[in-house]
């Protein structure tokens, strides 16, 4: 018999989640995880967020990890876990720490040769762990009570150090059984650099930068997972170099900084940015990802002979690599050694374009994407996070000027359409209650994950969601068009009434003109106790020139003829 105050596997996990900073976890029930959920619910420091499906719950955990630093998802075996897998692969690609906890089959079932529901029909039940091993830093099945504390703690440690998802499977007949209590401990969250190698890397970098007439810094998305954002900012301040951000790193370092010169994205960079970065004698990329997406089909003009590539645990200079050098340590020490040089900033200031302000709202004018983002620009403040779905929202979002304190989120590495809706749910729960999330999602992407708007209504969250209705998958159109890029139109604004079901407080409207949009934004900003959804009717061919160029270059890279070996 289990005594009232005894610790079970489920309650042990709950305690550890709270200790590492998780206050909400995203779950869908299933018979293999019901006892586990019972045990988690006993911890009143945590709140279960019930989602519509496991994929969306995974996206919500993604958003929560971005806002809160770490997240958790609970799923059932196979039909649940494998539904969540796509979102967790995305989190792995984006360096987001998520503790995935799955219920599992009874420990006796495989030994007794039982064929079970929700499985492949083969009596071999380790396959979900095996699959998750490819998308996690640590994947374990708890098979013995005495091993549970160690396995749980080791998985959490891997999650914190590697900033990647981990997987813990708890058999349904073990979740409620007693184990050793969770003793107080401080989880390791980072690995120190090799001091000797760090010193060499910094000395070589200082020498190379010191010889450069116009050095430039470029912020990459891995600054966040390396906890190196502040260190990069300190380097900017001490060096006085001009700095740009790669698209996935937009907003990680304040765009209000006087040395900021824009987004570096090869040929679709901010005006003047590519010219300054690519003409520099030396460029230091910190936490960068060089992929077909971030380089516009590998057409960016970055010369390896002029590149200092500071990765999460290495520094690569022309002709030499220093390993086991942590990015945060490297940037911190470099900031104290580098000599200031503002030549690249002066060069940018000579060529930068001064843009005329957008004209006043023309109330009866048909709304365009450009005018939509111009109106949104006016409402951004320090308590705003912009979430941009994969597609033209990326390129229009890049043009927003983020005020001090504002942030920006995209899924640049994985690029899974539909990601933004669940992420909006999770981010809204993970950030300051006074913070406002503004999301841009295309109609095609929205159709994949729309159900989670009902969860936002359920938990009285206040994001503003702009659904850009242009009748199809615009990003795919610009890469390679075909009839498969057309979709069935929905009454997107009307969906909110369905989800309210007479008791919720979601608000929605449909706009076609600049005046209607202006009124809708004003209403959304004052709306409380539920999400606001604004369906924006746009022309099918209304997309940014950057998407047109980017799409053609990515398409060309995809379409390369096979090489004869």
CATH number of the domain at 393, please.
Answer: 3.40.50.970
In this structure, is the dihedral angle defined by the CA atoms of residues 473, 474, 475 and 481, taken in order, positive or negative? Answer: positive
Same domain? For 332 and 385 the reply is: no
Residue at 186 is within a domain = no
Predicted local distance difference test score (pLDDT) of residue 480: 61
Residue 174 scores a pLDDT above 50: yes
Same domain? For 14 and 130 the reply is: yes
> Coil, strand, or helix at residue 30?
coil
CA geometry: angle at 435 spanning 432 and 439, to 5°? 125
In angstroms, the CA 395 to CA 542 distance is 13
Residue at 294 is within a domain = yes
In angstroms, the CA 120 to CA 117 distance is 8
Same domain? For 58 and 90 the reply is: yes
Domain boundary among the residues 139, 171, 203 is at 171
In angstroms, the CA 342 to CA 241 distance is 5
Same domain? For 217 and 328 the reply is: yes
Q: Which domain holds residue 272?
A: 195-351
Residue at 389 is within a domain = yes
DSSP label of 338: P
Residue at 4 is within a domain = no
Q: How far, rounded to the nearest angstrom, does the alpha carbon of residue 501 sit from its chain's CA centroid?
A: 31
The model's pTM:
0.95
Same domain? For 141 and 208 the reply is: no
Same domain? For 538 and 399 the reply is: yes
Domain boundary among the residues 325, 351, 377 is at 351
Domain boundary among the residues 155, 171, 187 is at 171
Residue at 188 is within a domain = no
Q: What is the pLDDT of residues 218-241, one digit of tens each?
A: 999 999 999 999 999 999 999 999
Q: What is the pLDDT of residues 256-284, one digit of tens each?
A: 999 999 999 999 999 999 999 999 999 99
Residue at 224 is within a domain = yes
Task: Give mean pLDDT, residues 362-389.
Answer: 95
Residue at 51 is within a domain = yes
Same domain? For 282 and 378 the reply is: no
Q: What is the pLDDT of residues 23-64, one digit of tens each?
A: 999 999 999 999 999 999 999 999 999 999 999 999 999 999
In angstroms, the CA 200 to CA 11 distance is 47
DSSP label of 196: H
Residue 1 scores a pLDDT above 50: no
Predicted local distance difference test score (pLDDT) of residue 472: 66
Count of domains observed in the chain: 3
Same domain? For 344 and 377 the reply is: no
Same domain? For 309 and 411 the reply is: no
Same domain? For 113 and 207 the reply is: no
Same domain? For 45 and 153 the reply is: yes
Domain of 221: which CATH number?
3.40.50.1220
Confidence of residue 355 (pLDDT cuts 50, 70, 90): confident
Residues 6+ apart with CB under 8 A from 62: 71, 87, 90, 91, 94, 96, 98, 411, 419, 422, 423, 426
Predicted local distance difference test score (pLDDT) of residue 212: 95
Same domain? For 489 and 399 the reply is: yes
């Amino acid at each position: 018999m289990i005594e009232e105050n005894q610790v079970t596997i489920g309650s042990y996990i709950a305690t550890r989640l709270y200790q590492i900073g998780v206050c909400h976890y995203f779950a869908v029930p299933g018979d293999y995880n019901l006892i586990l959920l019972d045990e988690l619910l006993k911890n009143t420091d945590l709140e279960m967020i019930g989602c519509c499906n496991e994929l969306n719950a995974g996206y919500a955990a993604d958003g929560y990890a971005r806002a809160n630093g770490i997240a958790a998802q609970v799923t059932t075996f196979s039909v649940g876990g494998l539904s969540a897998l796509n979102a967790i692969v995305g989190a792995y690609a984006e360096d987001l720490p998520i503790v995935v906890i799955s219920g599992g089959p009874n420990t006796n079932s495989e030994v007794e040769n039982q064929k079970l529901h929700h499985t492949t029909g083969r009596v071999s039940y380790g396959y979900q762990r095996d699959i998750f091993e490819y998308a996690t830093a640590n994947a374990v099945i708890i098979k013995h009570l005495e091993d549970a504390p160690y396995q749980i703690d080791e998985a959490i440690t891997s999650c914190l150090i590697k900033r990647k998802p981990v997987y813990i499977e708890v058999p349904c007949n073990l979740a409620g059984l007693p184990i050793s209590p969770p003793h107080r401990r401080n989880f390791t969250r980072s690995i120190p650099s090799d001091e000797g190698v760090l010193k060499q890397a910094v000395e070589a970098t200082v020498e190379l930068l010191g010889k450069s007439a116009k050095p430039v810094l470029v912020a990459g998305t891995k600054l966040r997972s390396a906890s190196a954002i502040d260190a990069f900012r300190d380097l900017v301040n001490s060096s006085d170099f001009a700095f740009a951000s790669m698209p996935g790193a937009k907003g990680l370092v304040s765009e209000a900084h006087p040395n900021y010169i824009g987004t570096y994205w090869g040929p679709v960079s901010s005006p003047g940015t590519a010219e300054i970065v690519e003409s520099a004698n030396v460029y230091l990329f910190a936490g960068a990802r060089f992929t077909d997406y971030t380089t516009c089909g590998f057409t960016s003009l970055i010369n390896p002979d002029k590149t200092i590539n500071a990765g999460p645990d290495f520094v690569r200079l022309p002709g030499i690599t220093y390993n086991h050098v942590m990015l945060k340590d490297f940037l911190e020490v470099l900031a104290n050694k580098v000599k200031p040089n503002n030549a690249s900033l002066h060069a940018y200031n000579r060529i930068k374009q001064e843009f005329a302000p957008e004209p006043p709202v023309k109330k009866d004018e048909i709304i365009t994407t450009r005018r939509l983002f111009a109106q949104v620009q006016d409402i951004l403040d320090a308590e705003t996070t912009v979430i941009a779905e994969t597609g033209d929202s990326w390129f229009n979002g890049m043009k927003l000027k983020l005020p001090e304190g504002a942030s920006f989120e995209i899924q640049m590495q994985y690029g899974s359409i539909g990601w933004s809706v669940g992420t909006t749910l999770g981010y809204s729960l993970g950030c300051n209650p006074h913070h406002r999330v503004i999301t841009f999602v295309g109609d095609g992407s929205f159709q994949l994950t729309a159900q989670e708007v009902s969860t936002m209504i359920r938990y009285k969250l206040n994001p503003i969601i702009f659904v850009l209705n242009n009748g199809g998958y615009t990003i795919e159109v610009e890469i390679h068009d075909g009839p498969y890029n057309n979709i069935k139109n929905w009454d997107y604004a009307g969906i909110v009434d369905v989800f309210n079901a007479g008791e919720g407080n979601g608000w929605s409207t449909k706009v076609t003109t600049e005046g209607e949009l202006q009124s809708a934004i004003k209403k959304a900003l004052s709306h409380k106790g539920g999400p606001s959804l604004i369906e924006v009717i746009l022309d099918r061919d209304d997309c940014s020139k950057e998407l047109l160029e980017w799409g053609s270059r990515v398409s060309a890279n995809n379409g390369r003829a096979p090489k004869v070996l």
